[in-house]
Amino acid sequence: MLKSTLIILIVIFGVYVLIGFLFGLYFIFKGAKQIDPLIAESKFSVRLLLFPGTIATWPFLITKIFKK
Amino acid sequence: MGLDYQLVLWNKQKKRYDLVLFLFIVIYLLGFAVVTFTTNANTSLETLIIRAFGSLAILMLHIILMIGPLTRIDKRFMPLLYNRRHFGVLMFLMAAVHGVFSIIQFHTLGNVNPIVSIFTSNLDYNSLTNFPFQVLGFLALIILFLMAATSHDFWLANLSAKTWKALHMAVYLAYTLVILHIFLGAFQQETSPLLLGLVGLGATIIVALHIFAGFKEVKVDQAKVSEEDGWHYVCSVEDIKENRAKMTTCAGERVAIFKYEGKLSAVHNVCRHQGGPLGEGKIVDGCITCPWHGYQYLPGNGQSPPPFTEKVETYNLKLVGNKVYIDPKAHAPGTPVDPIKI
């Protein structure tokens, strides 16, 4: 029972990371500019640096993009 | 401050800070390797890497957690605070090397997914002496990743200072998990009592420093103010050093009163960038300069010099003889207030 619960939680975690990864690709090319115009003036390397944070915080960022 | 984002915000001082950090890391790792191979020549390279990077990450985490209270206790520690963000990211990288090599060594030899293996290879979660301590280290690493990944100014601006700060307070949760990871792991692995003693001492020092710094701040916040027609007495003009500030508390908010060029001005103490204490900064080139990251504000109106847009609240002051009084009602951020002449 404990093992099954842990595996379910790990799968949920994996799905979260996978969605974050896919959203991250969209975010660094387009999404970041939608929520922060300063990104458009910044070098592309800055957007690459944002990628790991995007994977971690994607639900927050999607909400912010929709609100815009 | 900027009109675009930089990959890494470096200046001369920060480069020096990072160079010292880099040298510290190299010397520690080399020293650890020499001591390990001298005392136990049979140690494998993987084990050496796991132990060296793990102990280095713990040491760095302790220093990081001590910097905040130390600067509140004594301003001479302020230079350590100046680039703590890079310190934190480097600490995460050291912890990540420890974590990745541990997973490779202990969880990739079977046919189970390594992450699943961390959580399920030992299901003795009810035991104190056989607890799956690696799970705690893994969870701590996730938290440290979250903090390192959101350390760039972009995140501070877009997550909001309040959310960002709250997120980064999770370092205390990560620290607790790390301490449990070490102590519960000690029951199952060959661990030196010296290491456990040092970690215990480190945790005690961190708790003591936070309590001491907290008491010091409460003392400032609860200092009794004498009132005169709604104006709060703060101090004598002589109590404020030139180009520096005196901090006080008005209506529960911290305020910094600066003395410069024969004038006095008061602004809210909290920098809009990352919540740094403006009152611990000084006037540089006519601007109040935050000691944390150099954000600047004009003392007469609390606004960052154009083209920047940050603003802090301003306050009315009055001088009676040499006594400085403040009106506790704050003006809206960026409101011009004529400085009083001394």
Task: Give the pLDDT confidence score for residue B79 in this predicted structure.
Answer: 79
- Residues of chain A whose C-beta is under 8 A from some C-beta in B? 2-3, 6-7, 9-10, 13-14, 32, 35-36, 38-39, 41-43, 45-46, 49-50, 52-53, 55-57, 60-61, 64
Fold of B4-220: Four Helix Bundle (Hemerythrin (Met), subunit A) (1.20.120)
Residue range B118-145, pLDDT digits in tens = 999 999 999 888 999 999 999 999 999 9
Using pLDDT thresholds of 50, 70 and 90, give the confidence band for residue B192.
confident
Q: CATH 1.20.120 spans which residues of chain B?
A: 4-220
Residue B339, sorted as left (phi over 0), alpha (psi -120 to 50) or beta, turns out to be beta
Do A38 and B4 lie within an 8 Å CB cutoff? Answer: yes
Number of Cβ pairs < 8 A linking chain A and chain B: 65
For residues B220-235, average pLDDT: 75
Share of chain B above pLDDT 90, in %: 60
Place of tokens 């713990």: B58
Quote the pTM value: 0.81
Task: Give the pLDDT confidence score for residue B230 in this predicted structure.
Answer: 82
Do A53 and B150 lie within an 8 Å CB cutoff? Answer: yes
Fold of B227-341: Rieske Iron-sulfur Protein (2.102.10)
Specify the length of chain B in residues. Answer: 342
Do B116 and A10 lie within an 8 Å CB cutoff? Answer: yes
Using pLDDT thresholds of 50, 70 and 90, give the confidence band for residue B170.
very high
Residue B223 has pLDDT above 70, yes or no: no
Do A10 and B119 lie within an 8 Å CB cutoff? Answer: yes
Nearest to B7 among A38, A45, A61 (CB): A45
Whether the CB-CB separation of B124 and B130 falls below 8 Å is answered with yes
Q: CATH 2.102.10.10 spans which residues of chain B?
A: 227-341
Place of tokens 């703060």: B234
Specify the length of chain A in residues. Answer: 68
Q: In whole angstroms, what is the distance from residue B154 CA to residue B7 CA?
A: 10
Do B5 and A3 lie within an 8 Å CB cutoff? Answer: no
Residue range B237-295, pLDDT digits in tens = 999 999 999 988 887 888 999 999 999 999 999 998 877 889 988 898 899 998 877 78
Predicted ipTM > 0.85? yes
Q: Which positions in chain A touch B120 (Cβ < 8 Å)?
A: 3, 6-7
Do B5 and A56 lie within an 8 Å CB cutoff? Answer: no
Task: Count Cβ atoms below 10 Å from residue B310 Cβ, excluding itself.
Answer: 18
